Chains A and B, each alone.
Chain A
Amino acid sequence: METEFTPFASLLGGALIGLSAVVLLAAHGRIAGISGIVSRILPPSVDKAGLPQGIIFLIGLLLAAPLWFLLTAAAPVQVVSRNGLLLVIAGLLVGFGSVMGNGCTSGHGVCGISRGSARSIAATMIFMATAFVTVFVLRHVVGG
Protein backbone atom coordinates (compact mmCIF):
# COMPACT_ATOMS: atom_id res chain seq x y z
CA MET A 1 0.00 0.00 0.00
CA GLU A 2 1.40 3.40 -0.92
CA THR A 3 1.94 6.11 1.66
CA GLU A 4 2.31 9.81 0.95
CA PHE A 5 5.85 11.25 0.88
CA THR A 6 5.92 13.75 3.77
CA PRO A 7 9.36 15.42 3.85
CA PHE A 8 8.34 18.46 5.94
CA ALA A 9 6.25 16.67 8.58
CA SER A 10 8.94 13.98 8.83
CA LEU A 11 11.75 16.52 9.19
CA LEU A 12 9.81 18.44 11.85
CA GLY A 13 8.80 15.24 13.66
CA GLY A 14 12.42 14.12 13.57
CA ALA A 15 13.47 17.46 15.05
CA LEU A 16 11.02 16.94 17.95
CA ILE A 17 12.54 13.50 18.59
CA GLY A 18 16.00 15.10 18.55
CA LEU A 19 14.87 17.85 20.92
CA SER A 20 13.50 15.23 23.31
CA ALA A 21 16.87 13.45 23.31
CA VAL A 22 18.67 16.74 24.04
CA VAL A 23 16.25 17.54 26.92
CA LEU A 24 16.81 14.10 28.43
CA LEU A 25 20.59 14.38 28.22
CA ALA A 26 20.62 17.97 29.53
CA ALA A 27 18.24 17.25 32.42
CA HIS A 28 19.20 13.74 33.47
CA GLY A 29 22.36 12.85 31.59
CA ARG A 30 20.57 9.93 29.92
CA ILE A 31 20.53 8.74 26.33
CA ALA A 32 17.02 8.65 24.82
CA GLY A 33 17.18 5.03 23.77
CA ILE A 34 13.69 3.60 24.10
CA SER A 35 14.75 -0.06 24.28
CA GLY A 36 17.22 0.85 27.03
CA ILE A 37 14.67 2.88 29.00
CA VAL A 38 12.10 0.06 28.79
CA SER A 39 14.46 -2.85 29.41
CA ARG A 40 16.02 -1.20 32.47
CA ILE A 41 12.65 -1.28 34.24
CA LEU A 42 11.99 -4.93 33.31
CA PRO A 43 13.13 -8.01 35.26
CA PRO A 44 15.67 -9.42 35.89
CA SER A 45 17.93 -6.73 37.42
CA VAL A 46 15.45 -3.85 37.57
CA ASP A 47 17.26 -0.50 37.77
CA LYS A 48 15.56 0.74 40.94
CA ALA A 49 17.28 4.15 40.95
CA GLY A 50 16.17 4.90 37.39
CA LEU A 51 12.72 3.32 37.75
CA PRO A 52 10.61 6.43 38.55
CA GLN A 53 12.06 8.58 35.75
CA GLY A 54 11.83 5.70 33.28
CA ILE A 55 8.16 5.23 34.04
CA ILE A 56 7.47 8.98 33.82
CA PHE A 57 9.16 9.13 30.40
CA LEU A 58 7.01 6.23 29.20
CA ILE A 59 3.86 7.93 30.53
CA GLY A 60 4.81 10.99 28.44
CA LEU A 61 5.26 8.71 25.42
CA LEU A 62 1.84 7.11 26.00
CA LEU A 63 0.16 10.53 26.36
CA ALA A 64 1.33 11.72 22.92
CA ALA A 65 -1.41 9.97 20.90
CA PRO A 66 -4.29 11.12 23.17
CA LEU A 67 -2.89 14.69 23.08
CA TRP A 68 -2.64 14.50 19.29
CA PHE A 69 -6.29 13.44 19.19
CA LEU A 70 -7.32 16.35 21.45
CA LEU A 71 -5.43 18.94 19.41
CA THR A 72 -6.25 17.77 15.89
CA ALA A 73 -9.61 16.06 16.52
CA ALA A 74 -8.31 13.13 14.46
CA ALA A 75 -6.54 9.92 15.42
CA PRO A 76 -2.96 9.62 14.13
CA VAL A 77 -2.93 7.84 10.77
CA GLN A 78 -1.56 4.31 10.97
CA VAL A 79 -2.00 1.00 9.21
CA VAL A 80 -0.95 -1.97 11.34
CA SER A 81 -0.97 -5.53 10.02
CA ARG A 82 -3.81 -7.65 11.39
CA ASN A 83 -1.67 -10.77 11.25
CA GLY A 84 -1.34 -11.50 14.98
CA LEU A 85 1.18 -14.32 14.60
CA LEU A 86 3.44 -12.17 12.40
CA LEU A 87 3.34 -9.35 14.94
CA VAL A 88 4.08 -11.64 17.86
CA ILE A 89 7.16 -12.93 16.01
CA ALA A 90 8.13 -9.36 15.05
CA GLY A 91 7.69 -8.19 18.65
CA LEU A 92 9.82 -11.01 20.06
CA LEU A 93 12.61 -10.30 17.56
CA VAL A 94 12.51 -6.52 18.13
CA GLY A 95 12.52 -6.88 21.92
CA PHE A 96 15.19 -9.57 22.00
CA GLY A 97 17.39 -7.98 19.34
CA SER A 98 17.29 -4.44 20.70
CA VAL A 99 18.30 -5.55 24.19
CA MET A 100 20.98 -7.98 23.00
CA GLY A 101 22.37 -5.32 20.61
CA ASN A 102 22.13 -2.63 23.32
CA GLY A 103 19.94 -0.28 21.32
CA CYS A 104 17.30 0.36 18.69
CA THR A 105 16.48 3.05 16.14
CA SER A 106 16.59 5.79 18.79
CA GLY A 107 19.58 4.76 20.92
CA HIS A 108 21.84 3.62 18.08
CA GLY A 109 20.21 5.29 15.07
CA VAL A 110 19.79 8.80 16.43
CA CYS A 111 21.73 9.27 19.69
CA GLY A 112 24.63 6.93 18.94
CA ILE A 113 25.26 8.30 15.46
CA SER A 114 25.14 11.85 16.84
CA ARG A 115 27.82 10.96 19.37
CA GLY A 116 29.93 9.40 16.64
CA SER A 117 29.82 5.98 18.36
CA ALA A 118 31.38 3.35 16.11
CA ARG A 119 29.25 0.63 17.77
CA SER A 120 26.07 2.55 16.99
CA ILE A 121 27.04 3.31 13.40
CA ALA A 122 27.80 -0.40 12.86
CA ALA A 123 24.56 -1.48 14.58
CA THR A 124 22.48 0.96 12.51
CA MET A 125 24.02 -0.28 9.26
CA ILE A 126 23.36 -3.90 10.29
CA PHE A 127 19.72 -3.45 11.34
CA MET A 128 18.96 -1.29 8.29
CA ALA A 129 20.41 -4.00 6.06
CA THR A 130 18.46 -6.87 7.63
CA ALA A 131 15.28 -4.75 7.66
CA PHE A 132 15.61 -3.94 3.93
CA VAL A 133 16.17 -7.62 3.14
CA THR A 134 13.25 -8.69 5.37
CA VAL A 135 10.78 -6.33 3.67
CA PHE A 136 12.08 -7.40 0.25
CA VAL A 137 11.50 -11.07 1.10
CA LEU A 138 8.14 -10.34 2.77
CA ARG A 139 6.76 -8.30 -0.11
CA HIS A 140 8.51 -9.55 -3.26
CA VAL A 141 9.45 -13.16 -2.55
CA VAL A 142 6.85 -14.58 -0.12
CA GLY A 143 3.94 -12.23 -0.69
CA GLY A 144 3.23 -10.10 -3.70
Chain B
Amino acid sequence: MHTFSTLFAGLLFGSGLILSGMANPAKVQNFLDLFGTWDPSLAFVMGGAIMITMPGFWLVQKRSAPLFHGVFHLPTRTDFDARLVFGAATFGIGWGLGGFCPGPALTSLPLAASGTLFFVPAMLVGMVIAKYTAVPSPKSLEV
Protein backbone atom coordinates (compact mmCIF):
# COMPACT_ATOMS: atom_id res chain seq x y z
CA MET B 1 0.00 0.00 0.00
CA HIS B 2 2.89 2.24 0.94
CA THR B 3 4.55 2.08 -2.48
CA PHE B 4 1.27 1.82 -4.35
CA SER B 5 -0.04 5.06 -2.84
CA THR B 6 3.08 6.91 -4.02
CA LEU B 7 2.86 5.44 -7.52
CA PHE B 8 -0.87 6.26 -7.62
CA ALA B 9 -0.20 9.84 -6.51
CA GLY B 10 2.38 10.27 -9.29
CA LEU B 11 0.03 8.81 -11.88
CA LEU B 12 -2.85 11.01 -10.70
CA PHE B 13 -0.63 14.08 -10.81
CA GLY B 14 0.57 13.36 -14.35
CA SER B 15 -2.92 12.51 -15.58
CA GLY B 16 -4.23 15.74 -14.09
CA LEU B 17 -1.50 17.72 -15.85
CA ILE B 18 -2.39 16.12 -19.20
CA LEU B 19 -6.18 16.41 -18.84
CA SER B 20 -5.95 20.01 -17.65
CA GLY B 21 -3.76 21.19 -20.54
CA MET B 22 -0.80 22.08 -18.27
CA ALA B 23 1.36 19.58 -20.18
CA ASN B 24 0.88 21.64 -23.33
CA PRO B 25 3.38 24.54 -23.31
CA ALA B 26 1.34 26.38 -25.97
CA LYS B 27 -1.61 26.49 -23.58
CA VAL B 28 0.56 27.67 -20.69
CA GLN B 29 2.08 30.45 -22.79
CA ASN B 30 -1.37 31.47 -24.01
CA PHE B 31 -2.51 31.78 -20.39
CA LEU B 32 0.45 34.09 -19.86
CA ASP B 33 -0.29 36.07 -23.03
CA LEU B 34 -2.90 38.50 -21.72
CA PHE B 35 -2.51 40.84 -24.70
CA GLY B 36 -2.49 38.16 -27.41
CA THR B 37 -4.10 34.76 -27.79
CA TRP B 38 -5.21 34.61 -24.16
CA ASP B 39 -6.53 31.25 -22.91
CA PRO B 40 -7.80 31.50 -19.30
CA SER B 41 -7.94 27.69 -18.83
CA LEU B 42 -4.99 27.55 -16.44
CA ALA B 43 -6.81 29.61 -13.85
CA PHE B 44 -9.29 26.73 -13.73
CA VAL B 45 -6.47 24.22 -13.18
CA MET B 46 -5.27 26.12 -10.15
CA GLY B 47 -8.85 26.63 -8.95
CA GLY B 48 -9.67 22.93 -9.35
CA ALA B 49 -6.53 21.89 -7.49
CA ILE B 50 -6.94 24.30 -4.58
CA MET B 51 -10.64 23.37 -4.30
CA ILE B 52 -9.43 19.87 -3.35
CA THR B 53 -6.20 20.63 -1.48
CA MET B 54 -7.57 23.32 0.83
CA PRO B 55 -10.23 21.15 2.53
CA GLY B 56 -8.15 17.99 1.92
CA PHE B 57 -5.04 19.29 3.69
CA TRP B 58 -7.19 20.57 6.56
CA LEU B 59 -8.79 17.14 7.02
CA VAL B 60 -5.49 15.25 6.74
CA GLN B 61 -3.78 17.48 9.28
CA LYS B 62 -6.41 16.64 11.86
CA ARG B 63 -4.60 13.31 12.10
CA SER B 64 -1.57 13.17 14.36
CA ALA B 65 0.57 11.47 11.70
CA PRO B 66 0.40 10.35 8.05
CA LEU B 67 -0.73 6.76 7.30
CA PHE B 68 2.67 5.29 6.39
CA HIS B 69 5.10 7.64 8.05
CA GLY B 70 5.85 8.91 11.54
CA VAL B 71 5.58 12.64 11.01
CA PHE B 72 4.34 15.30 8.61
CA HIS B 73 7.14 17.01 6.67
CA LEU B 74 5.61 20.45 6.41
CA PRO B 75 7.51 23.62 5.59
CA THR B 76 7.86 25.79 8.67
CA ARG B 77 9.57 28.90 7.33
CA THR B 78 7.70 32.16 7.33
CA ASP B 79 10.54 34.59 6.54
CA PHE B 80 11.10 36.33 3.22
CA ASP B 81 14.63 36.17 1.92
CA ALA B 82 16.43 37.18 -1.23
CA ARG B 83 16.65 33.56 -2.38
CA LEU B 84 12.86 33.20 -2.38
CA VAL B 85 12.35 36.41 -4.36
CA PHE B 86 15.24 35.89 -6.80
CA GLY B 87 14.44 32.17 -7.22
CA ALA B 88 10.74 32.73 -7.91
CA ALA B 89 11.52 35.56 -10.36
CA THR B 90 14.03 33.39 -12.23
CA PHE B 91 11.63 30.45 -12.29
CA GLY B 92 8.89 32.65 -13.77
CA ILE B 93 11.15 33.85 -16.61
CA GLY B 94 12.04 30.25 -17.52
CA TRP B 95 8.40 29.18 -17.25
CA GLY B 96 7.36 31.95 -19.63
CA LEU B 97 10.18 31.24 -22.11
CA GLY B 98 9.47 27.52 -22.46
CA GLY B 99 5.91 27.10 -21.22
CA PHE B 100 7.15 24.24 -19.05
CA CYS B 101 7.43 23.93 -15.29
CA PRO B 102 8.98 20.81 -13.67
CA GLY B 103 5.88 18.56 -13.40
CA PRO B 104 4.58 19.00 -16.95
CA ALA B 105 8.10 18.75 -18.41
CA LEU B 106 8.71 15.38 -16.74
CA THR B 107 5.21 14.14 -17.63
CA SER B 108 5.92 15.11 -21.27
CA LEU B 109 9.19 13.20 -21.38
CA PRO B 110 7.66 9.96 -22.79
CA LEU B 111 6.08 11.99 -25.63
CA ALA B 112 9.65 12.81 -26.64
CA ALA B 113 9.06 16.18 -28.33
CA SER B 114 12.51 17.53 -29.26
CA GLY B 115 11.98 20.64 -27.14
CA THR B 116 11.23 18.53 -24.06
CA LEU B 117 14.42 16.55 -24.61
CA PHE B 118 16.35 19.84 -24.50
CA PHE B 119 14.42 21.26 -21.57
CA VAL B 120 14.50 18.40 -19.04
CA PRO B 121 18.29 17.78 -18.86
CA ALA B 122 18.87 21.56 -18.67
CA MET B 123 16.32 21.76 -15.84
CA LEU B 124 18.11 19.00 -13.90
CA VAL B 125 21.45 20.79 -14.38
CA GLY B 126 19.86 24.04 -13.16
CA MET B 127 18.60 22.26 -10.04
CA VAL B 128 22.02 20.80 -9.26
CA ILE B 129 23.68 24.23 -9.72
CA ALA B 130 21.14 25.80 -7.35
CA LYS B 131 21.79 23.09 -4.77
CA TYR B 132 25.53 23.84 -4.90
CA THR B 133 24.89 27.54 -4.27
CA ALA B 134 22.62 26.82 -1.30
CA VAL B 135 23.73 28.08 2.07
CA PRO B 136 23.37 25.11 4.43
CA SER B 137 20.35 25.67 6.65
CA PRO B 138 19.40 22.24 8.00
CA LYS B 139 16.29 23.53 9.76
CA SER B 140 14.63 24.80 6.61
CA LEU B 141 12.37 22.55 4.57
CA GLU B 142 11.20 22.91 1.02
CA VAL B 143 8.49 25.41 0.05
Contact = CB atoms under 8 A, between A and B. Distances in A.
Interface of A: 1-7, 9-36, 38-40, 42-45, 52-53, 56-68, 75-84, 86-115, 117-120, 122-124, 126-136, 138-140
Name the interface size band of chain B: 35 or more
Contacts of A118: 78, 80
Interface of B is mostly: helix
A56 B17 CA distance: 18
Interface of A is mostly: helix
Contacts, number: 522
A78 to B, nearest CB: 4
Contacts of B50: 14, 18, 110, 113-114
25 contacts: A9-B19, A14-B46, A28-B69, A29-B71, A42-B127, A44-B132, A52-B3, A56-B10, A57-B10, A62-B14, A63-B7, A64-B18, A76-B23, A76-B108, A77-B24, A79-B25, A87-B118, A97-B93, A99-B131, A101-B90, A106-B103, A117-B75, A120-B143, A126-B92, A128-B92
